[in-house]
Structure 1
Amino acid sequence: MLLGNGGAFQVENEEHRTVWVSGIAAPGARLAVITDDGDVELLSGEGITLLNSRTGPVQAAPMPEAAAAADISRERYLVREGKQRRLVTRNRDGSLRVSHDGVTTTLVAPLARWLEQDGTQLTWRMLPDGDRKAWTLCLVNADGDLIWREGMRNLPTVLPPAQPHPYGGPELGRGARLRHQSLTSLSGAYTLVHQDDGDLVLYHNATHRAVWATNTWWAGDGWAELTEEGDLVVRNLCGAPVWRSGTAGSGAERLVVDNDGGFALLDASDAVVWRIDTGGHRSAPEATPARGSALYRGQRLQRQSLTSPDGSTVLAHRDDRRLVLFGEDGRWLWDAYIHHAERSYVVLDEDGVLRVRAEDGTVALDLGGPADELVVVEGQAQLRTSDGRVVWRNGEQTAAPETGAPPAADFTSWMDALMDDTAYCVTVIHHIDPDEALRRLGAQPERVTTGTWGDLLELAEREEAYDFEDIVVAAFALGPHTLLVEDNRCEGIDCPELSAGTFAVSCYMNINADSAFVVYRDGETVADHSRDSGSREPTTPEVCQALTAMGAPDVIKAAFLHDLELLCRTAGVQPTVADVTGPARIAVVTDR
C-alpha cells in the first residue's frame, strides 16, 4: 500500500497495477500519519494538514509574514510568500517544522515552547548568513528587538565585555560569565561547564556523569552569567534569557562550586541565598585539573577549559569527543576529534607529550610535544618548553624542544663571589614577574623597590637585615621567568608556594658546603635532590633531561658539585652576569 499521486491510499499488485483506492483523498498529500486518537491524517510536503480521516478535509489557515508562535497549530500556519515560499507548521509532538525551497528543519518542542512568549512574534528578516544576507526566521519582542534567530548554534558573535574571574577556579563573581568555559571545585571532584549547545551542566568527574543541568541544550550557543542583580542566567546569542535561577535582588555576590556535589550563590557575608544540591560525594579525579590559562605535566582536562589571560580564547574538552579552541567570536580556531574514546580526558603526561587518554588510561591520540606546559594565549593553544620555546601551535608541531644550556661563566663567577661572603640561594620561577615572585616570598609591596644588587646590600646594611629573621633578596627578570637570588638565607628551598600554578627549581649552597636542590610544580615539591636527605633517583623529566645533557649519572653529586648548571638546565635558562648586575626588584623581607 502506498500514498498515490492523487493523495489517496492505493494498493498495487506485483505488476504495479492499482487494485484498490481508498475512499479518502487529499490532492497534494505527501505524508500520512496515524494520530494518538487512531485517525489518519494526510499532510502536504510542507507539513500542512490537508485531511483527517474522521473529520474530513482540513482548511488550514495561513498567517502571512508574522504571528505569535503559540498561534501556530495543526489548522494554522505561518507563511511568507516570495520566490521561495517559507512556512512554519506545527508537528504533533509540539515541535515546529520550518520549510523552504525543499529544505525542512525542526525546532524541537522545548525550543518551540520557549518561542511562545507573551508579546513576541515569529517573522522573517533579512539578516547576515555567512558572507551574504538571507531571509531568516526570527523571534522579536514588542519593541521589535531580535531575541532569537535561526542558525543560532553556529553564529559568530563577539559578546559585550564582562568582569574577569579566576578562569577554571571554583567561583564566578557578579558581572562575570562563562562561554564554553568551566568552573571546577577545589578538590577537582565536580565541574560546572557551559557547553556550546547552550546547556549549563554539573559533572561528577570521577564517574564522568552529569548530575544536574539546566536542560537548555536546545538554545544553541550563548553564555551563562551571574548578573549584577545576583541572578544566574543562561542566555542565547541574542542575549535573551533561556533559564534563570530567579535570584535577582537576593544579594548574591558569587557562585561557588563545592566538593560535595552542588553549587551555591552566596551573599557578601557568605550566606547561601540559593543552592543546587545533588547529594553527591567527595571522590576526586586521579589527577589535578588544570586551571587558568595553562596545563602542566601531570594535569588534565576533563570537560574543562583553559582560558587566555585576556579572556578572548578558550580551549575546551567537550563531552562529544572533541577538543576545541574557540576564538573571541565563538568560531572554532582548531579542533581534534577523538572518535574512538567515548569517555576521555586530555593530559600532559610526565614525558611532556600532550595526549588524549580513554577512561581506562589507554592512549587514544598523541597531539604534540614533548613540552613542559600547554598554554592558551589570544588565538592560539601552544605547547611550550620551560624556556618559553613554542614547539606546537594549534595542532601543528613547530619545533623540537631543546635542553637548557649551562649558565654563562661570568654568572657562575658572580655567584661564587656571593658564597665567599656567606651563602646563596637561587630560584627560577616560570612565567611570573619579579613583583609576584617577591610577593609569594612574603615581601610587602610597599617595601619592594627598584635597584641594583649593590643597592640591595646597602639597603640591608641600613636596615641591619643580616640576622636570622630577614631575607635579603633580588628578583631579576629572565624573559618570561624570574630569577630570585637570596644573599643570606635559603627560603627558596622550602617555599613550594613559589610555584603555585607554574614550575620552579631552587638550589642553596653555603661556605660550609651545606647544600640543597629542590623542584616544585603547582605549589608542591615534586623532587628533592639535596645532598644529605634527597632522593638519588631522578623522577622529574626536567631533571632527567638536564642530567643527560650534562652526562651526569649521579643526581646528588651533580646537585652538589654543579648545582648552578643543573638548576639552569632544569629550568631551561642561561643567565649571564648582565642579567644580575642591572636593575632588579629588591626587598628586605621581614616577619615571613
Structure 2
Amino acid sequence: MSTDMTMPNVLRPGEYLYASSLTSPSGRFTFHNALGAGTALHDNGTGETLWTVPYDNVHGLSTFSFGLDGDLVVWNHHRDPGWRAGTAGRGAVELRLSDAGDLELADATGAVVWSTGTAPGLDPFPPYEGVPGLGSVLSRGQSLRHQSLVSDDGDTVLAHTDFGVCLFLDEGGVRWRHPVEEPGTALELGTDGILRLRAGTGTRHEFGGPAEELRVLPGRVELRDAAGQVLWSAGGDHRPGGTPTGPRQSRLQRWFDSLAPDHGYTVAVVRDVTPEQALTRWGVATPVRATWQQHQAGRHDGVVPVAAVPIRNGTLLLAGAPDLPGDPLSPGTTVLRESRTIPCHGYSTEFSMHADGDTVAHLREAHRKIRKGLTHPGLVRAANETGVGHLRGNVDWAAAFAGLEFLFRAAGIDGIDGIARAARADGVDGADKVDEAAGVDGVDLADLAPADLRGDLLGGLVPAGLARPSGTPEPVTPPGRTPLPDRDCLLVRTDFSDDAAWEALLGALAAGSLFDDAEVDPVNDPAWAGATLDEVVDAVPDLARIPAVYIADTEAITGEGYPVLTVNAAIPRESEDYEPEPGSPRSIRVTADELWGVHVNLEIANIGWEEIVEVADPEDGVFRGY
C-alpha cells in the first residue's frame, strides 16, 4: 500500500495495492485493487471505468505491485505474476494518478516511461464536488467511491466497490461486508453526520450517526461522535489470536518476489558481518552502489545480481536467483537463508540455517526433499511467533509457506538487536546505548520498509554458477532389473509367487476404477521380483511428476482388500539429510477399491498426504476410505 498518506495518489518501488486504492488529488479518479474484482481505474465524475488491468492468470485475491525491479505486476494468490507492464530496469521511481485521468510511471527526471493513456477528452473538466477520505479516517462531508481507508498498521482495510462495502484483514480475511446489487453507490459521512450508502440522491442504507468521523482501526471500523463515543462499529475488537508484531509474510513477499520474477530470489541474513564482508563471501570482488534496478540491469545469462542492506547487528543480502548457498557466508557467524524458484505456487524452495560453516537446519520442498535440524530452539520460537495463524507453531509449515517472515523472526530472536527492539517498544531510555553497542549501523529487521530497499544498495554481480539448483535426481535402475516406464500412475509388481492372486488384485483395482482414466500399464516383469521399496522408488523416471508410487508386494496380493503399498514420491528415505516429519510416514497401504480415489486426490492436490495418513487404520496402517 502507499506508505505516504500525504500523497495518496503515488506508489513507489516496493509499495503495492492490496484491497486498497490510489486517489487523484481532486478525488475524481481512483485506481483500486478490489477484492475478487481485479484492479481498475475509475472516473468518479462520470461513473466510467477507464482502464482495467488484464488478469487472465489472476482469480480471486490479487495484489497490484510496483516492484523493486521497476515493473508493475499483478500477483495472484499463488504468488505467480498474472500481468506485467514490462517496465523492469527502466528507472521508474514513481507511479502517479493524475487529475487528468492518467496513471503514469515516471523516472527520476520526470520522464514518463509508461502510461494508461486514459485521460478523458474533456476541456475544461467539469467540476467534481466529492471529497474523498484519506488515510484511516472518513470525516463529515467526505465519501468513498472505489476507494479504501487503511488502518495505521496497514493490516485492516475498509473498501468501497460496486459490490458494496467490505472490511478486510490482511491474512485474516473478510471481517464484515454490506453488499449492494447496483453499481454507482458511494459510502458517505454526510454533513449531517449520518453514515450512509448512497446511490445518486437516494439512500440505500444508513449505518448510524450523527457522528464526526469513521475510523479504521486494527481489526475493526468505528463511527464516533465529537466526544469519541462509538455509535456504530463492525469487525470485532481484535485480530484473531492477537495482533502480531514485527515483519509479516504478506508484506515481505510483495517486496521480495519482485527482485527477479523470472528467475527467483535468495534472501539471507548474515549476523555480525558488514555488507562489504558479506558480499565478498558471496563472490563480489568490487562492490558498487546502485539501485536494485541498476544492479539488475547488468544481468546476463552468466551472472546474478546481488546487493546488501545494512541491518542492526548484521547484513541483509538479496540475490536475483534461487539456490545461492548460505554456508560460504557463515564462517564465524550465523546465517539464515530463504530461496524461492519462480513459479512455485506458494512454496518457498529452500530455508536453511548455517552456523560457523556448518548447516544447522535445512528444509527443501523440491525433489529431492531435504529436512533436518528443524527442532532447533530458535526456529521453534520463530514458528510460534509467526503471524499467519494456521501456520503458527509448525516449523515445517512456517518455513515452507511463510519462509520470509520465518527467516526474519528467526534472525531477530536472540542477540542485541532483539534487546534494542524490546527497549524501544518499552520506551526505555537506554535503547540508544544498546544500538551503539551493536556496532553496526542499519535498521532493525522488524522496522524494515520499502524505503530501505529502493535506494542505492551496495552490490554487484556474481557468477550464475554459484547458484546450486536442486534439480530432479536421475533414476537408478538396480543391476539385473529393467528400467521402469514413465507413467502418471506407476504400479510395480514385486511378488510373483501366485499369478491368480495377481489377477485378482488387478480385478479389484479395475472395479475401483483405477484403469478407467489413468495412464496405467502395470509393470509385470519378473526382473522386479523381490525388489525393495527403495529400489523401486530410486528407479522411477520422474518422481516430481507423480504423487505416489504403488507396489504390489506379497502383502498387497495376499492381504484382505488387497492393501497396495503406497509410497509418497516426495518423501525420501531417512538419512543424514532427511529427518522424518512426525505423523508423515513415507508409505502406507491403501486397499484396491480406494486406490484410484487416493491417486486422483493427491494428483490434483485436493487432499494432502497427511490427511490420508490421519484416516489410515492406526492398528495396521491401511487406508480403507473415509
Given the two structures, how large is their TM-score scaled by the length of structure 1?
0.38
Given the two structures, how large is their TM-score scaled by the length of structure 2?
0.36
Larger Rg: 1
Whose helix fraction is larger, Structure 1's or Structure 2's?
Answer: 2
